[in-house]
């Protein structure tokens, strides 16, 4: 028998001694490659499952969002169909109001705030400023509310300061200019300018300057600044024993150290109250030229011929005034049909630069009295203040003087009203009340609000959110007003209203409108529902 060694193709088993335990042999098993493949396959399978789940979740999300959008769209469409609102009432309004009169201070001169056309009242830096003569000095006081007033600050004590009618002032932005005449005593006037401060003080640019005139200065003067910054002064002068003249002087902008005599209107048989007005086309002079106390109006340029244009009535210039806006001047005063009258009615007219005549005259108050009249512009309206005896009134026009309201009463408890003088804008007015010294310097203010009053009816079964309003002028094809809610783009105002279901609300919107004009009003909700209708403003 053959041994293992003798068998073909056989090998001897090799035993590793160190691994032999108990005389037994231990063999190592072979590693399996199939187990690695199984792990990899499992990972790939899980990844595929997760990817498929993600895709399904994403598709579900898109579908859910789309479904929600469809639901919202259906709800919005349904809400839009159910939304029903309308303007049940609309009116164009310009209500007015006025403050209670207050006492600014006292004076020993009844001419403390005279005359009507001379600037004595201003508004700047959140303060009212009232200038007047206390009988010895030109002073001013300030107030933030028109009721309580600061102590008096002296502007000047130069000759002429004892009379209010020798002093005129003019405001340009936050700058105030003044001129002071020295009545019947010298060929000169004094002037300077300064800046209004929020602390109630004026920062004067320089000390008071004296300017030489052609003749002795009388009581009345006027000062204005044109669009180029040139300063103009008109001075009533004594030309001879019984004749007067008006001298026009100009100081160029800048340092304004040299004054030039531009023209003199000579041969006037009595003193006059010149009024200088700046228009977009140049300076206009308005004055009276007859010998009587009631004077015919003359409108001319500083270098023009005497009296080219006059209105029909005769006006007492001490109790009349004028303002300018653009190329037009607006005049209101005590009018009569003949010379020599110090009583009459209150009338108004306008004149546009370059025209051949004034407008027709409008009678603002047909009652005859010694009316002291002054005109102002307030919130795109013209306001005329006038008083006599114990009564102070005002009327206003919102259509450049074509139509005027009935008079409103500011006070019926004054004494011998004089020196009514109004601010060119902002609606402040000052006057003197009293029949003997000390006289009271008084103040009040009036305002006019431009409004669109709406009554909106909601006929929907739910609250409606209104978020925008448009006012379109169909005559000029222009958007007259654009008002949206506070969060909207291009906001120029604020319009946001919640109208409860089945209810009506009233809303007042500050809008400047034009008389006898066609307007298309459009209101929109946050759901995109629009309501539009045409309306005509009152004549």
Which helix (H) or strand (E) covers residue 139, if one does? strand 138-143
In a domain, 491, yes or no: yes
pLDDT tens digits, 85-123: 899 999 999 999 999 999 999 999 999 999 999 999 999
Q: Is the pLDDT at 485 greater than 80, yes or no?
A: no
Asked if 440 and 106 touch (Cβ cutoff 8 Å), the reply is yes
Query: Residue 211's pLDDT band (boundaries 50, 70, 90)?
Result: very high
- Count the residues in the chain: 539
Q: Which of 448, 473, 493 is the last residue of a domain?
A: 448
Distance CA 284, CA 232 (A): 11
In a domain, 529, yes or no: yes
Nearest to 339 by CA among 273, 289, 287: 289
In a domain, 44, yes or no: no
Q: Strand 138-143 vs strand 153-156: parallel, antiparallel, or unpaired? A: antiparallel
Query: What's residue 26's pLDDT?
Result: 47
368 and 462 belong to one structural domain: no
461 and 363 belong to one structural domain: no
pLDDT tens digits, 375-434: 999 988 999 999 999 999 999 999 999 999 999 999 999 999 999 999 988 899 999 999
Query: What's residue 16's pLDDT?
Result: 39
Percentage of the chain with pLDDT > 70?
81
In a domain, 497, yes or no: yes
194 and 267 belong to one structural domain: yes
132 and 239 belong to one structural domain: yes
Nearest to 498 by CA among 531, 451, 453, 460: 460
Query: Residue 292's pLDDT band (boundaries 50, 70, 90)?
Result: low
What does the pLDDT average to over 182-193?
87
Q: What is the CATH number of the domain that holds 483?
A: 2.60.40
Query: Residue 50's pLDDT band (boundaries 50, 70, 90)?
Result: low
Q: Is the pLDDT at 61 greater than 80, yes or no?
A: no
In a domain, 242, yes or no: yes
Distance CA 68, CA 71 (A): 5
366 and 493 belong to one structural domain: no
Query: Rounded to the nearest 5 degrees, what angle is found at the Cα of 265, between the Cα atoms of 419 and 322?
Result: 35
341 and 460 belong to one structural domain: no
Query: Residue 55's pLDDT band (boundaries 50, 70, 90)?
Result: low
Which of 198-212, 369-383, 506-520 has the least mean pLDDT? 506-520
Q: Is the pLDDT at 28 greater than 50, yes or no?
A: no
In a domain, 3, yes or no: no
First-last CA distance in the chain: 145
Nearest to 333 by CA among 322, 220, 252: 322
Q: What is the CATH number of the domain that holds 299?
A: 2.130.10.10
Distance CA 366, CA 498 (A): 48
Q: Is the pLDDT at 80 greater than 80, yes or no?
A: no
Query: Residue 495's pLDDT band (boundaries 50, 70, 90)?
Result: confident
Q: Which of 404, 419, 448 is the last residue of a domain?
A: 448
170 and 248 belong to one structural domain: yes
More confident residue, 255 or 164: 164
Q: Is the pLDDT at 19 greater than 50, yes or no?
A: no
396 and 435 belong to one structural domain: yes
In a domain, 49, yes or no: no
β strands within 370-463, DSSP E: 372-378, 381-388, 391-397, 408-411, 418-422, 428-433, 439-448, 451-458
pTM value is: 0.81
What does the pLDDT average to over 67-83?
57
Query: Rounded to the nearest 5 degrees, what angle is found at the Cα of 397, between the Cα atoms of 393 and 401?
Result: 115
323 and 459 belong to one structural domain: no
Asked if 527 and 467 touch (Cβ cutoff 8 Å), the reply is no
Query: Residue 325's pLDDT band (boundaries 50, 70, 90)?
Result: very high
Distance CA 341, CA 237 (A): 23
Asked if 191 and 233 touch (Cβ cutoff 8 Å), the reply is yes
Q: What is the residue range of 517's domain?
A: 83-94+451-536
DSSP code string of 152-204: -EEEE-STTTT-GGGEEEEEETTEEEEEEE-TTT-SEEEEEEEEE-TTS-EEE
Q: Which of 448, 472, 490 is the last residue of a domain?
A: 448
- Number of alpha helices (DSSP H) and beta strands (DSSP E) in the chain: 1, 37
367 and 486 belong to one structural domain: no
Provide the number of structural domains found in the chain.
2
Backbone torsion region of residue 303, taken as left when φ is above 0, otherwise alpha when ψ lies between -120 and 50, otherwise beta: alpha
433 and 503 belong to one structural domain: no
365 and 496 belong to one structural domain: no
Q: Is the pLDDT at 484 greater than 70, yes or no?
A: no
Query: Residue 305's pLDDT band (boundaries 50, 70, 90)?
Result: low
Which of 194-198, 319-323, 530-534 has the least mean pLDDT? 530-534
Q: Is the pLDDT at 242 greater than 80, yes or no?
A: no
In a domain, 53, yes or no: no
């Amino acid at each position: 028998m053959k041994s293992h060694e003798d068998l073909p193709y056989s090998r001897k088993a090799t035993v590793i001694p160190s691994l032999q335990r108990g005389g037994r042999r231990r063999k190592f098993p072979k590693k399996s490659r199939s187990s690695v493949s199984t792990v990899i396959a499992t990972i790939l399978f899980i990844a595929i499952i997760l990817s498929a789940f993600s895709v399904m979740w994403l598709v579900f999300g898109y579908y859910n969002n789309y479904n929600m959008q469809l639901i919202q769209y259906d709800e919005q469409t349904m809400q839009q169909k159910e939304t029903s609102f309308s303007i049940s009432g609309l009116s164009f309004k310009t209500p007015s109001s006025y403050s209670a009169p207050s006492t600014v201070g006292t004076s020993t001169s009844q001419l403390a705030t005279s005359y009507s056309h001379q600037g004595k009242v201003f508004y700047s830096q959140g303060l009212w400023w009232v200038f007047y003569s206390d009988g010895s000095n030109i002073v001013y006081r300030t107030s933030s509310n028109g009721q309580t007033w600061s102590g008096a600050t002296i502007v000047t004590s130069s000759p002429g300061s004892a009379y209010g009618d020798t002093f005129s002032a003019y405001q340009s932005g936050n700058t105030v200019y003044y001129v002071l005449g020295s009545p019947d005593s010298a060929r000169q006037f004094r002037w300077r300018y300064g800046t209004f401060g929020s602390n109630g003080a004026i920062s004067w640019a320089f000390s008071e300057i004296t300017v030489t005139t052609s003749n002795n200065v009388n009581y009345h003067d006027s000062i204005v600044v044109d669009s180029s910054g040139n300063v103009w002064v008109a001075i009533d002068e004594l030309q001879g024993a019984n004749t007067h003249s008006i001298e026009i002087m100009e100081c160029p902008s800048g340092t304004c150290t040299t004054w030039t005599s531009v023209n003199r209107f000579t041969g006037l048989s009595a003193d006059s109250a010149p009024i200088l007005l700046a228009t977009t086309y140049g300076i206009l002079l308005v004055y009276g030229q007859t010998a009587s106390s009631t004077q015919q109006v003359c409108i001319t340029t500083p270098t023009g011929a005497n009296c080219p244009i006059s209105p029909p009535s005769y006006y007492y210039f001490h109790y009349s005034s004028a303002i300018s806006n653009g190329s037009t001047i607006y005049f209101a005063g005590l009018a009569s049909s003949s010379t020599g009258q110090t009583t009459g009615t209150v009338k108004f007219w306008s004149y546009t630069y370059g025209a051949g005549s004034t407008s027709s005259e409008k009678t603002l108050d047909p009652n005859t009295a010694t009316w002291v009249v002054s005109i102002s512009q307030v919130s795109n309206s013209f306001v005329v203040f006038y008083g006599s005896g114990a009564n102070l009134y005002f009327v206003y026009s919102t259509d450049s003087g074509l139509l005027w309201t009935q008079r409103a009463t500011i006070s019926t408890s004054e004494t011998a009203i004089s020196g009514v003088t109004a601010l060119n804008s902002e609606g402040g007015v000052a006057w003197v009340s009293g029949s003997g010294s000390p006289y009271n310097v008084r103040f009040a203010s009036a305002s006019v609000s431009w409004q669109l009053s709406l009554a909106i009816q909601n006929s929907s079964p739910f609250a409606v959110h209104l978020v925008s309003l448009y006012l379109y002028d169909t005559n000029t094809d222009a958007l007259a007003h654009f008002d949206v809610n506070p969060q909207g783009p291009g906001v120029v105002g604020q319009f946001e209203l919640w109208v409860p279901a089945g209810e009506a609300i009233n809303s007042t919107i500050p809008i400047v409108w034009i008389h006898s004009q066609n307007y298309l009003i459009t209101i929109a909700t946050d759901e995109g529902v629009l309501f539009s209708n045409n309306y005509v403003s009152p004549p």
